[in-house]
Structure 1
Amino acid sequence: MFDKLLSTPLVTAAAASLDLVAFPCAGSGSAGLRGWREILPADWRFTIACLPGRETSYGQPFARDMARLADDIAQELRGRRAQHPDLPLVLFGHSMGGLLAQLVAHRVPADALVVAACPPPGRRDAEDDGRPLDHDELRREVAGMLQAVSPIEPGLLDELVGLTAPVLAADIELLATYRAPTTPLSCGIWALYGDGDPIEPLPWAAETTAAAECRVLSGSHFFVQESPRAVVAELRRCLTPVRGGKA
């Protein structure tokens, strides 16, 4: 079992109106979403999942099985929510993080699941999932992800790409272990897509017995990092029912 997979929220559960847990994309950690703390509603309790082998867990072995990783995150999340289990729980996942968030939602009852830049499980290309990228592909993917967060000097970018590429490679291997749940969730699922992303924008209707909506925002596959205010504004809109009508 991995230790400390969730960041420490700044808002206590007792003072919160909503519990938001975010799962970053493959190859990333909490850094790409850390700026959300300044633009989210002040009473949202915000936690970021940080997978092994990066940031505070740098040097630890990477996770090798998504189901076991979801088990560990769910156990930690249940312990954190024990004192306030009725606080509405929303799971948000970007790309591979959307699939991990879905698995966690099957283990810890959530009030909503929001997935970004992530096609429905039934429309995923199983042969493409987990396909190792060659050296140049890895560098292009990592560079795009890093530049989406903020512009980086070319010399520093090369160094950061070198450090991040092994993380992305490990996450691609982890993605190959994903198995779609055989039963649907009972919470609403909102799917967000970038208009510059080649992924076809489709709702996750087959994954829930509740509402499944689909929205397209401006940006690439990394629109979550490119336009965080637009994404947070969309979260506020779609999660209004979860918050009892509060925008």
Structure 2
Amino acid sequence: MRIITANTNGIRSAGRKGFFEWLAKQDADVVCIQETKAQRDQLEDPLYHPEGYTTTYSDAIKKGYSGTAMYCKKPPNSVTTSLGWDPADSEGRYIRADYDKISVISLYMPSGSSGDEAQAKKDRFLGIIYDHFVELKAAGRELVICADWNICHKEIDLKNWKGNKKNSGFLPHEREWLDKLYGEAGFVDAFREINQDAVYTWWSNRGQAYANDVGWRLDYHVITPGLVDSIRSASVYKDEKFSDHAPFTMDYDCSL
């Protein structure tokens, strides 16, 4: 089972940069997209509905903002795009595909970097989505949560950690939230199960951050413990630049 997660920072922009040509060669079973920044009526071109996949888009009410997508090679038993609360629903931040025993989620966590109001919104989101994840896990489902978390967990997860200790994305309470998710709730950072290197998935467009690899690891596969033994490989694709994030792929020795 191959699952790719990618924040496209505008799916139409990524499409113009060759994202879908690259994707067609990856043989992915599920593709999770964050930050589509488009409405469905702007995505009628077949380019945005890859051949051989069931396509789901969840749009933000605000045009050109947020949004998620999911492409599934095997049609899921059901798809959920509404959680019944905002901003998850009004900003199109969540898609879940349910199979017999496994659910795959595409999630776009709010950013708090624009100020106190944005951070407060992010903090509220963290509290509610945590309870949702715990409920799904308690129901006995195996989960693969593919997300732009907009949080780095450990110092190894961003190059300039000393200079960002007071910035959104590396605040102590955000990192503690991930501690709780991995500890009390029992979820697993799938990448860190097999790789302890400093690897990044997002780079600021300012200066030479990308060229100098001054990045952040913001894009994660978070899984339930029952999938840990099935992890086989993980890779971040940087040969082409489709977005300020890089696509992140993981292979699992199991099926949907």
Give the TM-score range, shorter chain: 0.3 to 0.5
Which protein is richer in strand relative to its size?
Answer: 2
Normalising by structure 2, we get a TM-score of: 0.35
Which protein is richer in helix relative to its size?
Answer: 1
